Amino acid sequence: MQVNLATKLLRANRDVAAENRERLRKHGIVAVNLISSPGAGKTTLLERTVEALKDKIPMAVIEGDQYTALDGERIERFGVPVVQINTPGGCHLDAGMIATALDSLDLENLRLLIIENVGNLICPAEFDLGEGFKVGVLSVTEGNDKPKKYPVIFQDAQAAIINKVDLLPYVNFSLEHAVQDLQEINPGLKVIPASATRQDGLEEWFNWLLEQM
């Protein structure tokens, strides 16, 4: 029986992800895998989240990017531990990368770990990192077709944030249709319209995140 390389990679990744999940569970850490396409406002959302919650709960961030450390530097200024992972040309983080990053963190003193995945809606959806929750982020500037074109991430996610709602008057985007599509793909999905820049809807996101603890 022939097993293709992609299947082998996913199986190996799944095994390491299970080890990561158990390691996090033993330390009482909730890990969130934040996934979006480039430009959806994921890092701005993360900045607002860290700023709001860092004094309420011990937290750290793992930053995934292809080449730069710019996003990690943006988060470091809030005074929380940040581990930067670069994947030159790679379109996603994998469980092995997370396992190595965990070695750099003081797990005994953490309760929340947010992983900002590489900007992509396809590859990251396939790779379990050992996280407790996946959260998909899309923006109104991307168009209404994103949920149906890239359903896997939203099928697997526990929450979806529709970002940049402050731009709704200026773009061709139906918030009602987007919410409907997301909930058809995943009936149990928590959908939060928000503006990370203007901070609309963020309290609902913060409260949902704290409830998962």
Mean pLDDT, to the nearest integer, of 139-165? 95
> What backbone torsions phi and psi does residue 138 show, to the nearest 5 degrees?
-130, 155
Mean pLDDT, to the nearest integer, of 68-72? 83
42 touches 119 (CB < 8 A): yes
What pLDDT, on a 0 to 100 scale, did the predictor assign at position 88? 86
- Please provide the average confidence, as pLDDT, over all residues in the chain: 93
The CATH number of whichever domain residue 201 belongs to comes to 3.40.50.300
User: 3-state SS of the chain?
Assistant: CCCCHHHHHHHHHHHHHHHHHHHHHHCCCEEEEEEECCCCCHHHHHHHHHHHHCCCCCEEEEEEECCCCHHHHHHHCCCCCEEEEECCCCCCCCHHHHHHHHCCCCHHHCCEEEEECCCCCCHHHHCCCCCCEEEEEEEHHHCCCHHHHCHHHHHHCCEEEEECHHHHHHCCCCHHHHHHHHHHHCCCCEEEECECCCCECHHHHHHHHHHCC
pLDDT digits (tens, 9 = 90+) for 111-137: 999 999 999 999 898 899 999 999 999
* Choice between 68 and 35, residue whose per-residue pLDDT is larger: 35
* Domain span holding position 102: 5-211
Comparing 1-10, 100-109, 172-181, 201-210, the range with the smallest average pLDDT is 1-10
pLDDT grade for 195, boundaries at 50, 70 and 90: very high
Number of domain units in the chain:
1
212 touches 114 (CB < 8 A): no
* Cα separation of the two ends of the chain: 43
What pLDDT, on a 0 to 100 scale, did the predictor assign at position 4? 66
What pLDDT, on a 0 to 100 scale, did the predictor assign at position 167? 97
* Choice between 89 and 201, residue whose per-residue pLDDT is larger: 201
pLDDT grade for 2, boundaries at 50, 70 and 90: very low
Q: How many residues does the chain have?
A: 213
pTM score above 0.85: yes
Mean pLDDT, to the nearest integer, of 69-97? 92
pLDDT digits (tens, 9 = 90+) for 170-184: 999 999 999 999 999
Closest CA to 41 of 201, 154, 148, 187: 201
Closest CA to 45 of 157, 178, 194: 194
pLDDT value at 6 more than 70: no
